[in-house]
Chains A and B, each alone.
Chain A
Amino acid sequence: MFLGRVVGTVVSTMKDAALTGQRLLIVQPLKPDLTATGKRLVMLDAVGVGAGELIYWCRGKESSFPFLPAEVPTDNTIVGVVDDLHLEPSR
């Protein structure tokens, strides 16, 4: 799983039936020091996050598991909101 920040939303009317009712958010992946890394991605939201929140997300087929037994076609899903983050100083 990886850290990210919610930076936007996507609206889509014509979509896979299994995506109905799901929120589509744009997330900027972050490094542990909270600097941006990589491209911004579209993700589903399994926990109910808000704009600008620091979150963690999972990748791959596992990202559809929060929605079981529905088979939701997603490869990135937000699975948690970060309350606090502590990083050991690098040696």
Chain B
Amino acid sequence: MEASVNLKALFKPKTMAVIGVSLHNDRHPANVIYNKNSLRFQAKVFPVNDRGGVLMGETVYPHISDIPQKVDLAVIAVRAEMVPDIMAECIQAGVGGAVVISGGFAEIGRKDLQDRMVSLAKEAGFPFIGPNCLGIYSPPYMDTFFLPSERMVRPDRGRVAMVSQSGGTLVDQMSKFANEGVGLSLGVSIGNKAQIRELDLLRYFARDPATDVIAFYVEGFEKNEGRKFVLAADRCPKPVIVLKSGKSPGGGRAISSHTASMAGDYEVFSAVISQYGMVEARNEYELVSFCEALSCYNRSIEGKIGIITASGGHGALAVDACFSHGLSVPTLSEQHQAELESKVSPRVRAIASFSNPIDLTGSAVDDDFIAAAEFLSTRQEVDCVLILLLPYTPGITSDLGARLSQIYRQKDKALIAYVPHVEKYRIFIEGFELNRIPVAHSIEGAIQMADAIKRCQPC
């Protein structure tokens, strides 16, 4: 795929056609796509079926060329054998690009059909996503997923773009994003990625002003494609997060050198991804928490953690987790401890501990957390502040998140919060997340966020 091809028609179409709607089967994927777009999205949508007719009062066009307006995006959901001809019609009609939902190509051995489509598109400079994919989720413009909206857990609009080889994985990640308050700028399922591939989308999102963080679920690259991908990521000023499947060794082939045996496909993948400053998520949970952390902070840290807690146990567990991730927990000098001590309320002064972790105890009030966070944010020896919040302690209010976020905005030092139990403490969590402070629900998860900020090296 040439870098010069404009993908905007695909992602922000003003007009779209859904080709292959059924006149009598409401559950046909094309009908689901047509319905959701005509009811809930901004793009003007036209139904197409070669038999013509009327669908819910709207004219069904027999051919894409019959549509009286220029069409930006064609969503193709017809039988695989018909797709190349339909694509040729789209090209002929001057359509901007296509999403091919249909399966039945390389994944079942019909590489010939897929290749026909690719060469047609290549010749015409016509961009398309798929085949065998869910396509593009791009609210408020459009959504090509053939899933009824009410069945999806939909994340808010936000700054993370996610590209996935698997449609199902994308939909599930989106529901996890929604649970964690991570907003999505765009979701793209690329399926067989016959033409538009990870590299093209990396280049697009690197320049997309609506996207701050780019996340990928990758099964594998073609020959030398990984090299091009990491070199492009090296020039990308935004954090790039990669979740890889297919980590187990393939086996079979006799391996005759130690290097070939030890530098297996996954070992190389993992090493090179981190060499080029991308962050590898080891599992789906890390992917979500890394997206959350890196959409708040995209400047790398050395990993010198200052910990503020209301419980000694939480502090001790956090120190252990820092240690196991290679993060440091620098001690504060006697003088600095005394300085901080003078800033907290009298009733915690006598019982709190002011080394790092700073244990403010269960008697602490909001102002004590603010004082401690303000203090740590001015210390050179700390480059990331971890707030272990126990929302059940009586002196804490739900204002704390928003107030702490002000400190970040003034001092520009990364803050990460730990808040247990999502449902019960939703209001505390939103206080942080709506003000761009990432929140983890386990201590380990909070430390992983810090580790991700350390590992991420955007150029």
A binds B: no
| B interface with A by C-beta (< 8 Å) | none
